[in-house]
Structure 1
Amino acid sequence: MRSRKERFEEHGARFRRDRAAQESRGAGVPHSHDARTHEGEHDIEHAPHPARERRGAELRLYGLNAINAVFSRRPNAIRKLYLAEARIPALQPLLKWCVANRVGYRVVDELDLHKLASSSHHEGVVADVLREEPLALSTWLRDLPSGPQCAIWLDGVGNPHNFGAILRSAAHFGVSAILLPKHSTLSLSGAAARVAEGGAEAVPLVRLGRDDNAIAQLRGAGFTLAATVVQGGSDVFATPLPERTIYVLGAEGEGMDRELAAACDLRLSIPGTGLVESLNVASAAAVLLAAWKAKRG
């Protein structure tokens, strides 16, 4: 029979093993035998479990351009960095900033990066960053400069890759904002930010109130709302586009809400051969934005 001391020591060892396993799972970070931690930082396996209320405040990004865009615009949002050894030369400015500001980083292997990003498209770097909350419509309108402006109202678009592609086109053509309906569940994800290639940091998201109130506010600021429809709209290339235009894009497959479409000032379509029903919503957004930009000279 084991002594009381032996039973106590076994119980203590089991407790320590269980606690270490729980902390590792809570951190959501795989163990890597060759992972190196910045001096002064604790290993991830022993990091304190984050408070539940803070989980939604952070976003896990991956991809070089997505993370470099955050570093360029709001470096203080970066909370943790993980990278492949091969990425050290390309990320020297970011790593030096991490050292100077006591932000932890780890060099991990390819498998760990796959797990961290839940994707094979991580491009050798993953980061945990603070999420930027959408602006209120009144705040955005208050700070909007005068003159030509174009924005996109996304009515029901939900695919993160389409969202990322729209953000990329919006950044390319200088779109002022992406407008999200009051009850839309669409938000920036790691996948969308990676597809956006840095565009997620260049184009603000704006949360709308009730549709009728939002439309009234936008019209009061001089905007014309243009519903984009597959058929029956005016040719976007032949129609004069107002200097301040809101393109309203509908959901993938179902299109936009009929009442919202009816409330818009214009109905626009992209002419084509008819061999396919329509363009993908992200492709359509790029064409529409190019048409508006072309008319601005």
Structure 2
Amino acid sequence: MPPREGGTPPPPGRGNDELRLYGWNAVQALFDKRPQALRKLYLAESLIPRLQPMLKWCVSNRVGYRVVEEGDLNKLAATTHHEGVVADVLRAPMLELGEWLGTLPAGTPALALWLDGVGNPHNFGAILRSAAHFGVAGLLLPPGSTLALSGAAARVAEGGAESVPLVRLPALPEAMQQLRDAGFGLAATLVDGGDNLFASDVPARLVYVMGAEGEGMDRELAQDCDAQVSIPGTGAVESLNVASATAVLLAHWYGRQAR
């Protein structure tokens, strides 16, 4: 058994290129897809058997790990929702739009999300989870966006954060032109006033443009899109939140492609 050290481990001095992950699925997904990004691992003693492959990799690659008490894990993660494991990791690099488009096989269906003002980490995590489930090819972030993956978002995503790349967009006219040149249609998603989603055409290459949680999406941006769609419902509630709406939109596109 690795040595147990008393006291709370000191902060690792993380910069913008580093991230503290916690939660079993988030850490395991990181290890499965980008083990070289792992910088330090903290775990509860009860997880030693379950994490044997990861611990052996750490030993072989000289990556430090420590068995710590529950209270130390709570402090490291700044939450009790860590499921016994915390990791310091390097962030996945954000792609430029042209670079991302170059990774897509020519002529194949592809779905992307343009996040115009989404900021809540739990909503972001839920969006990532749905995006991974339905095979979204990328999350597109406008210029100046401060949205970035956090530990909280990665935990809510339940491993989905490692499956969906983040893409930095250029200025709006250039971004739209590049996407259209690559065969994408752009659909603005509105709380109301758009065409019925379930009666609308769904192109094989599509970008759903999602607005902010509170004020919705920019109306000028919505008008510049090729289509404007809304999710019909009973009217018993004013609207779905952005994460729930995203899941509906993605399921609709995915179902149409599966026909």
| Pair 1:207 & 2:177 matched | no
Which aligned runs of 4 or more in structure 1 are off by greater than 3 angstroms? none
The answer to whether residue 137 in structure 2 is matched with residue 167 in structure 1 is no
1:85 is aligned to 2:48: no
| 1:224 aligned partner | 185
Partner residue of 2:83? Answer: 123
Which residue of the partner structure matches residue 5 of structure 1? none
Q: What is the letter of the counterpart of residue 120 of structure 2?
A: N
**Residue number among 119, 126, 136 corresponding to 1:158 in the alignment:** 119
Residue 255 of structure 1 is aligned with which of 192, 216, 225?
216
1:61 aligns with: 21
Q: CA deviation at 1:154?
A: 0.2
- Tell me how many residue pairs correspond in the alignment: 254
Task: Spell out, residue by residue over 1:154-181, the C-alpha distance to the aligned partner (whole angstroms, 9 max, x if none).
Answer: 0000000000000000000000000001
2:241 is aligned with 1:280: yes
Distance in 1, Cα, partners of 2:50 & 2:225 = 47
1:1-297 → structure 2 map (5 Å cutoff): 34-35=4-5, 50=13, 55-146=15-106, 147-297=108-258
Provide, for residues 95-116 of structure 1, a one-character-per-residue CA deviation record: whole Å limited to 9, x for no partner: 1101111110000011100100
- Whichever residue aligns with residue 144 of structure 1, its letter is L
* 3-state SS in 2 of match to 1:79: strand
TM-fit CA distance, 1:35: 2.5
**Matched letter for residue 263 of structure 1:** D
SS at match of 1:55: coil
**Retained in 1: the 8 A contact 2:26–2:157?**
yes
SS at match of 2:41: strand
User: Which region of structure 1 is more displaced relative to structure 2, 139-148 or 275-284?
Assistant: 139-148
- Kept in 1, the 8 Å contact 2:125–2:154? The answer is yes
Q: Aligned partner of 2:21: which letter?
A: L
Q: Say if 2:190 and 2:228, in contact at 8 Å, map to a contact too.
A: yes
SS of corresponding position for 2:115 = strand
Q: CA deviation at 1:133?
A: 2.2
Check whether the contact 1:135–1:204 (CA below 8 A) recurs between aligned residues: yes
Q: Is contact 1:35-1:109 (8 Å) kept?
A: no
User: What secondary structure sits across from 1:99 in the alignment?
Assistant: helix
Contact 1:232 1:269 in 2 (8 A): yes
- The answer for the alignment partner of 1:21 in structure 2 is none
TM-aligned CA deviation for residue 83 of structure 1:
0.3
1:138-161 CA distance string (max 9 Å, x none): 100112112111000000000000
Structure 1 unaligned spans of 5+: 1-32, 37-42
Query: What fraction of aligned residue pairs are identical, expressed as a percent?
Result: 66
CA radius of gyration, larger in: 1
Does the 8 Å CA contact 2:4/2:66 hold for their aligned counterparts?
no
- Per the alignment, in what secondary structure is the counterpart of residue 80 of structure 2? coil
1:168 and 1:199 mapped to 2: Cα distance? 5
Structure in which a larger fraction of residues adopt helix:
1
Q: CA contact under 8 A between 1:116 and 1:126: conserved in structure 2?
A: yes
3-state DSSP class of the match of 1:246?
A: strand
CA contact (8 A) 2:114 2:208 kept: yes
> 1:191-229 CA distances to partner (integer Å, 9 max, x unpaired)?
000000110000000000111110010001010000000
* Distance in 2 between residues matched to 1:44 and 1:119, nearest whole Å: 15
- If asked which structure has higher relative contact order (CA below 8 Å, sep 6+), I would say 2
